[in-house]
């Protein structure tokens, strides 16, 4: 019996059948065929980015877990959630960002930034 070590949502890196390096997240797992359907977010083949493709499980590896301890990487992940129209993930990341900013006191600093330079996730409302 073939047991795969991947789940939907895992971040992975691997090669396509044509040898292209791809990075993305698992959208579907086909245990019978030994393939993963991944949504490509980075590749050495530009046309693959943003598409869903199948790769063999063999030769694909999980990427390291993401640490939610700084705002900058979370902002990048929020951009990715927006690009992929993943509302649930966007809300989860936004909550983590709020937690980090409130823990570090950044929320107070952000409220002193004019609305014209705040990003779309500003922590205060427009006055």
- Segment 2-18, tens digit of pLDDT: 556 898 988 899 888 88
Q: How many CB atoms lie within 10 A of CB 59?
A: 9
Q: How many CB atoms lie within 10 A of CB 118?
A: 14
Does residue 118 register a pLDDT over 80?
no
Q: Residue 62: beta bridge partners?
A: 12
- Segment 51-88, tens digit of pLDDT: 889 999 988 999 877 666 778 778 878 887 887 788 88
Query: Bigger pLDDT: 98 or 75?
Result: 98
Q: Which of 100-104, 114-118, 122-126 has the lowest mean pLDDT?
A: 122-126
Does residue 112 register a pLDDT over 80?
no
- 8 A C-beta contact, residue 36 and residue 6: yes
Q: How far apart are CA 113 and CA 108, in angstroms?
A: 9
Query: Bigger pLDDT: 115 or 5?
Result: 5
Q: Which run of H or E residues covers position 22?
A: strand 21-30
Q: Look up residue 117 and give its two tokens.
A: 């330079």
Say what the pLDDT of residue 127 is.
34
Say what the pLDDT of residue 116 is.
46
Q: Cβ contacts of residue 5 below 8 Å, gap of 6+?
A: 62
Q: How far apart are CA 70 and CA 55, in angstroms?
A: 32
């Amino acid at each position: 019996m073939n047991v795969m070590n991947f789940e939907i949502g895992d971040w992975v890196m691997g090669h396509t059948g044509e040898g292209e390096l791809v990075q993305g997240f698992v959208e579907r797992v086909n245990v019978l065929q030994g393939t993963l359907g991944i949504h490509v977010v980075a590749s050495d083949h530009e046309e693959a980015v943003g598409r869903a493709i199948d790769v063999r499980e063999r030769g694909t590896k999980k990427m390291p877990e993401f640490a939610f301890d700084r705002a900058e990487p979370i902002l990048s992940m929020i951009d990715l959630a927006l690009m992929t129209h993943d509302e649930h993930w966007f809300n989860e990341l936004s909550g983590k960002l709020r937690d980090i900013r409130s823990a570090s006191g950044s929320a107070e600093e952000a409220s002193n930034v004019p609305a014209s330079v705040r990003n779309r996730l500003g922590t205060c409302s427009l006055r």
